[in-house]
């Protein structure tokens, strides 16, 4: 009888071992901001599910239940879903290149991502780098009341590989946003 119990315990332990040692599947949203003038450093490291819960429960001026009001003019008729689908289906390449005395701007699609790079030449001399994985294009959900479902967008981050989404460097501050 004792042998059967020990065998049963051993089998249960072997079956449970992979779960016990499985890698934590919690996704994390990270934001790191340094403000150079005041020597201020802010680091935010939050589980994605906490961020989503907060977003869905905030009800302020232009943000309600995970939806942000884009405040577009009523006479504007824009089919955002069709635009996002066209961007996703377009081939890799350079889409926009602007060179001026104030800033250089480049928008390109490459390897399943849209990259937006802005190099400001005046004022703060900011350099902005934004990476938008194509998988996010499907998550851009727009409501009839000119709203963007930010919560749905963040939910799709759960399916993305780890990596940097936004990086801003300037004389005044540096900002980095990434998921892991």
pLDDT of residue 127: 93
Q: Which of 63-72, 74-83, 87-96 has the highest mean pLDDT?
A: 87-96
Helix (H, G, I), strand (E, B) or coil at 43: strand
pLDDT of residue 10: 36
Asked whether the beta carbons of 84 and 138 are under 8 A apart, the reply is yes
Report CA-CA distances (Å) from 166 to 90, 117, 130: 22, 10, 5
pTM for the predicted model, two decimal places? 0.72
pLDDT of residue 144: 67
Helix (H, G, I), strand (E, B) or coil at 103: strand
**Between 124 and 26, whose confidence is greater?**
26
Element holding 54 (H helix, E strand): helix 48-56
The strand pairing partners of 68, in sequence order, are 63, 148
Phi and psi torsions of 78, nearest 5°: -120, 125
Task: Indicate the pLDDT class of residue 103, thresholds 50, 70 and 90.
Answer: very high
pLDDT of residue 154: 84
Asked whether the beta carbons of 116 and 164 are under 8 A apart, the reply is no
Instruction: Show the beta-strand stretches assigned E in 25-172.
Output: 28-35, 40-47, 59-60, 63-64, 67-69, 93-99, 103-110, 113-120, 127-133, 147-149, 163-169
Ramachandran class of 71: left when φ > 0, alpha when ψ lies in -120 to 50, beta otherwise: left
**Between 11 and 127, whose confidence is greater?**
127
């Amino acid at each position: 009888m004792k042998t059967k119990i020990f065998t049963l315990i051993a089998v249960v332990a072997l079956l449970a071992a992979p779960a016990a040692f499985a890698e934590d599947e919690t996704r994390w949203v990270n934001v790191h901001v340094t403000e150079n003038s005041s020597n201020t450093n802010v680091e935010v490291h939050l589980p994605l599910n906490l961020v989503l819960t907060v977003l869905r429960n905030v009800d302020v001026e232009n943000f309600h239940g995970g939806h942000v009001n884009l405040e577009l003019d009523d006479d504007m008729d824009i089919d955002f879903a069709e635009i996002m689908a066209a961007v996703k289906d377009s081939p890799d390449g350079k889409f926009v290149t602007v060179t001026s005395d104030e800033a250089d701007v480049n928008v390109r699609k490459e390897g399943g991502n849209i990259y937006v790079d802005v190099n400001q030449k005046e004022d703060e001399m900011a350099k902005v780098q934004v990476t938008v994985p194509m998988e996010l294009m499907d998550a851009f959900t727009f409501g009839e009341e000119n709203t963007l479902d930010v919560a749905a967008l963040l939910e799709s981050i759960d399916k993305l590989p780890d990596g940097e989404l936004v990086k801003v460097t300037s004389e005044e501050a540096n900002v980095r946003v990434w998921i892991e």
